[in-house]
Amino acid sequence: MAIYTCLDMIADCRANRPAGWSYLVGNYVPVMRLVLSHYYPDRKADRELLDQVLKALHDPLAALFAHPGAGTEREFVTALRQAVLAAVEKESANQTSAGALDLETMTAALEEFTATERQFVWLESMAYTAEQTAALMNLEASTVENARNRAEELLRSRMDHWKRGLIAETGRILGRLAAAARTEECLPARAFLDTLDGRITWIRKKDCEFHMMSCWHCIDHFCRIREADHALRVARPLGEDEAMPYRLALGLPEEKQPFWKKMFAP
C-alpha cells in the first residue's frame, strides 16, 4: 500500500478533503507547538492561540498550500513556521524600534564572515543559543560562540546604540526583512536540502556559499530549513485523544482510528 505523504496531504487540503486536515492535525500540530514554544515560550500552552492558527490554516486557498516550493515535507514545515509566526504577530502589537539593527548594518559589519559563520549569527536572531545552534549544525558550541563574539564586537564598533543581545531581540524584524529580500539569483530550497542530505557536489556547494555571502534571504531560508529538519526529527505525531480537541475545532468528522495508521496496521 502506498504511503500517505506530506504531498498527498497538501493535495487533499487543497481539495478540502478531511483526510488532509486530519493528517495535518496529527502530524503538524506537534511541529506548530515546537515553533510556539521556541519563539513564544509564554504562549506554548495557549490552546486558544493554536486553535486560531489552525483555523487560519483551515482554508484550501491558504498560502501554505499554494506555496510553489512546498514539494517536500521540510519545505512545507518552513512555510508552516512562517504561517504560525505570522498568525501570532497579527494579534500582537507590531514590534518596531528606532535605531534597531538592520540587514545593511549586518552586511557591512560581517563582510569577512563565511556562509557558515553567517548562519551562526542568523540562528541567534532566531533565538537559538550557541548549544542549540551547535546541535542544529552538528558542530561544537565553542565554534559558534567564537563567531558570535566576533560578530558582537564588529557590530558594536559600527552602531551608536549597541547592546548585548540585540541580534536576538531584533530577530523577528530581521527575519521579516530577510524574507522580503528575495532576488532572482536566490537559491531554491532544493540546494539547501541537498546540502543537508550530503547530495551536493563541491563546486555547487561553493557556488551556493558564494551567493549566501551576499544574501541574508538565503541565509535565513537555509536556517529555516535546518530548523524544519530538526523539528521533524524531534516532533512525535499526536495520539488520538490529543488530536481530538483540534479535530473538533476544525469540525472534522469523528474518526476512531486515523486512516494513515490503518495503512500501517499489521
Residues that bind Zn ion (CB under 5 A): 186, 215, 217-218
How many CB atoms sit inside 10 A of residue 32's CB?
Answer: 25
Calpha distance 105→111 (Å, rounded): 10
The CB-of-30 to Zn ion minimum distance in angstroms stands at 30
CB of 212 to Zn ion, least distance (A): 7
Helix ranges (DSSP H) in 126-165? 130-137, 141-158
Q: Is the CB of residue 225 less than 8 Å from the CB of residue 256?
A: no
Contact 94, 188 (CB under 8 A): no
| Residue 123, number of CB atoms within 10 A of its CB | 28
- In the complex, minimum distance from the CB of residue 181 to Zn ion, in angstroms, rounded to a whole number: 8
User: Which grid cell sits at 178?
Assistant: 530577510
Nearer to Zn ion, 88 or 215 (CB): 215
Instruction: Give the nearest distance from C-beta 71 to Zn ion in angstroms.
Output: 19
What is the rounded CA–CA span in Å between residue 13 and residue 54? Answer: 13
Let me know the angle formed at the C-alpha of 114 by 196 and 76, rounded to the nearest 5 degrees: 35
Q: How far is the CB of 221 from Zn ion (least distance, A)?
A: 7
Nearer to Zn ion, 139 or 186 (CB): 186
Q: Which is nearer to Zn ion, 166 or 215 (CB)?
A: 215
Q: What's the rounded Cα separation, in Å, for the pair 79 and 102? A: 23
C-beta of 181 vs 249, nearer to Zn ion: 181
Grid cell for residue 75: 519545505
**Comparison of 32 and 189: residue with beta carbon closer to Zn ion:** 189
